[in-house]
Amino acid sequence: MRRVSLTGLLTNAVVWALAVVWALPVVGLLMVSVRPFSEVVVHGWWTPYGHFTLNNYVEVLFDPAYAFLQGYLNSFIVTIPSTIIPILLAAMAAYGFSHFSFPIKNYLFLTLLLIMAVPQQMVVIPLYFMLRNAHLINTFLGLILIHSSWGLAWITFFMHNFFKMLPREIEEAAMVDGAGYFTIFFTIVLRLSMPALLSASVIQFTWVWSDFFFALMFLISPDKYVVTQKVAYIRGEYHIDWGLLSAGSVLTMLVPLLLYAFLQKYFIRGMVGWTVKG
Amino acid sequence: MPFREKRYFLFFTLPAYILIAIFVITPIIGTVIISFETKNGFGLDNYVKVITETSPEKALVYLRRMPRPPPWGAMIHNFIWIAIHLPLSILLGLVLAYLLRSVRGSSIVKSIMFLGMVVPMIVGGLLIRFMYDEFIGIFPRLFALLGFKGILAKDWLIYPQTALFALILGAVWLWTGFNLTVFAAALESVPTSTIEAAMIDGANSWQIFSRIVVPQLKPAIIIAVIMTVLWDLKIFDIVYVSTFGGPGGASNVLALVMYLYFARALDYGRSAAVSIILALLTLIPGIWFIREVRKSEKG
User: Any chain A CB within 8 A of the CB of B192?
Assistant: no
Residue B275 lies in a domain: no
Please tell me whether residue B54 adopts helix, strand or coil conformation: coil
Residue B205 lies in a domain: yes
CA distance A168 to B3: 11
Question: Which residues pair with residue B38 across a beta bridge?
Answer: B41
Nearest to A92 among B16, B126, B296 (CB): B16
Q: Which amino acid is at B96?
A: L
Which of B24, B32, B226, B281 is best to mutate for the A interface (most A CBs within 10 A)?
A: B24
**Single pTM value for the model:** 0.92
Please give the tally of structural domains in chain B: 1
Residue B11 lies in a domain: no
Q: Give ipTM to 2 decimals.
A: 0.92
Burial B217-228 (b: 16+ CB within 10 A, else e): bebbbbbbbbbb
CA distance A184 to A180: 6
User: How close, in Å, is residue B67 to chain A by CA atoms?
Assistant: 31
Residue B92 lies in a domain: yes
Residue A272: Cβ within 10 Å count: 25
| Residue B279 with chain A: CB contacts under 8 Å | 118-119, 121-122
CA distance A201 to A190: 13
Domain with B258 in it:
74-267
Per the CB < 8 Å rule, is A212 touching B31?
A: no
Q: ∠ at Cα B163 (B160, B164), nearest 5°?
A: 105
Residue B54 lies in a domain: no
Residue B179 lies in a domain: yes
- Rg of the Cα trace of chain A? 23
User: Any chain A CB within 8 A of the CB of B108?
Assistant: yes
Residue B60 lies in a domain: no
Domains of chain A with bracketed CATH: 6-53 (no CATH), 60-275 (1.10.3720.10)
CA distance B112 to B119: 12
User: Any chain B CB within 8 A of the CB of A255?
Assistant: no
Q: Which amino acid is at B133?
A: D
Could you list the pLDDT tens digit for every one of the 299 residues in chain B? Answer: 444 578 889 999 999 999 999 999 999 999 999 999 998 889 999 999 999 999 988 999 998 887 888 899 999 999 999 999 999 999 999 999 999 988 888 889 999 999 988 999 999 999 999 999 888 888 888 888 888 888 888 888 989 999 999 999 999 999 999 999 999 888 887 887 888 888 888 888 888 888 888 888 898 999 999 999 999 999 999 999 999 998 999 999 999 999 999 999 999 999 999 999 999 999 999 899 888 888 877 65
Q: What CATH number is given to the structural domain containing B118?
A: 1.10.3720.10
Residue B159 lies in a domain: yes
